[in-house]
């Protein structure tokens, strides 16, 4: 789940500059790091970014020590065009449980919920259960699942997860959308 929100939100980067048809582009992650601050909440948190044949894959997961029924997310994304012009794409705070329940109502969110469901057997709804291993294996951002036009450029996201108004975890990602040659 930790990476789910970053991926869902990052899909809002559409038509910023020189759109590329999604089948003609690739997504490459340079960084995908998860840190957590609540050892009384997390039993374990794992994340591994790896590359095979110019594709980025992520394996990861987490296990909680107690049930969590309230999660809020603050996520921000910066995007740099090829000319290095920086743009703030978003900086929002969301109710994560509501987002998971209503993702099907938003085409972009639905794309990423479906993507994660392909790579996990977990039921991504609140409450998140204690002692359950929420894992995803060989997750990748499938370009054919993305909206038809994606901009070329680099991105960096910071996504923070809060429960009971305390910072529980942070995900930092960076990467690029590039045109295939």
The pLDDT tens digits for 14-39 are 333 344 445 577 889 999 999 999 99
pLDDT (tens digit per residue) in 119-175: 887 888 899 999 999 999 998 877 777 666 667 899 998 989 999 999 999 999 999
Provide the token pair at 29.
């992650």
pLDDT (tens digit per residue) in 62-88: 999 999 999 999 988 899 999 999 999
Residue 16: the pLDDT is 36
Task: State the pLDDT confidence band at 181, using cuts at 50, 70 and 90.
Answer: low
pLDDT (tens digit per residue) in 91-125: 889 898 988 888 767 666 677 667 777 888 788 88
Residue 106: the pLDDT is 65
Q: From CA 91, how far away is CA 96, in angstroms rounded?
A: 15
Buried b (16+ CB within 10 A) or exposed e, 145-179: ebeeebbbbbbbbbbbbbbeeeebbbbebbbbbbe
CB contact set of 89 (below 8 Å; sequence gap of 6+): 12, 13, 16, 77, 78, 79, 155
Q: From CA 72, how far away is CA 163, in angstroms rounded?
A: 6
Phi, psi of 35 (to 5 degrees): -125, 145
Residue 151: the pLDDT is 79
Q: Residue 6: is the preceding peptide bond cis (ω within 30°)?
A: no
Query: Among residues 147, 178, 131, which one has the least CA distance to residue 13?
Result: 147
Q: pTM of the full predicted structure?
A: 0.80
Domains and CATH numbers, the chain: 2-179 (2.70.220)
């Amino acid at each position: 789940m930790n990476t789910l929100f970053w991926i869902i939100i990052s899909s809002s980067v559409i038509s910023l500059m020189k759109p590329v048809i999604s089948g003609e582009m690739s997504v490459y992650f340079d960084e995908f790091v998860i840190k957590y601050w609540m050892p009384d909440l997390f039993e374990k948190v794992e994340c591994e970014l790896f590359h095979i044949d110019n594709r980025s894959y992520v394996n990861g997961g987490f296990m909680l020590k107690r049930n969590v029924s309230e999660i809020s997310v603050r996520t921000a994304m910066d995007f740099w065009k090829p000319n290095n012009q920086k743009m703030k794409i978003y900086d929002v705070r969301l109710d994560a449980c509501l987002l998971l329940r209503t993702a099907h109502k938003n085409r972009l969110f639905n794309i990423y919920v479906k993507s994660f469901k392909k790579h996990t057997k977990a039921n991504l709804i609140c409450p998140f259960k204690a002692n359950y291993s929420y894992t995803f294996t060989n997750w990748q951002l499938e370009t054919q699942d993305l909206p038809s036009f994606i901009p070329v450029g680099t991105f960096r996201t910071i996504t923070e997860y809060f429960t009971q108004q305390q910072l529980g975890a942070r995900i930092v990602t960076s990467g690029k959308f590039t045109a295939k040659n």
